[in-house]
Each structure stands twice: as C-alpha cells, then as structure tokens.
Amino acid sequence: MDFYNIAGNEENLRRWEQKLCNEWKLVERVQDTERISYKKTGLGQNLHSLLKKHDYVGGLFEEIIRDRLR
C-alpha cells in the first residue's frame, strides 16, 4: 500500500519520514537516479519480526497515530 494514502497528506508523510528515519532509525532513505525508496535497518528488521509474532504491541506507534493531522 502506498505510504501517502496511509498518511493522508504530504505533511503527515513528511513527519513519518522524519520519525522513522531520523528519530527511530527504523528505515533508511535510498535515492536512485529516478526515485526515492526506503529499506529497513537492522533495528527495523528486529521490530518487524516482533510485530509479526505478537498480536498486541501496545502504544508503540501511539505517537504517530496521535499526531496524525486531519
């Protein structure tokens, strides 16, 4: 699914990128000549494994959800 559709608008997408890449270091930005893509870091891979194994993670992403602009 497209991150822009999930985020809802450009501002939310920019804030997600800021948090995921710069603050939490879960993904890293990779820029080719034609487009920008993102890949998981080691920490991101560990979190992904944790999320796949547990039904409830609690408020891990509460900050992103709470800050979503409407």
Average confidence (pLDDT) per 10 residues, the chain, 70 residues? 77 87 90 89 89 64 62
27 three-state secondary structure = strand
> Is the whole model's pTM more than 0.85, yes or no?
no
Residue type, 41: T
Q: What is the pLDDT at residue 1?
A: 45
pLDDT value at residue 54: 63
Please state the domain extents for the chain. 3-67
Q: What pLDDT sits at residue 68?
A: 61
* Residue 56, pLDDT score: 57
The DSSP element (H or E) to which 15 belongs, if any, is helix 10-17
Contacts of 28 (CB under 8 A, 6+ apart): 21, 38, 39, 41
Instruction: For residue 5, give both structure tokens.
Output: 């559709």
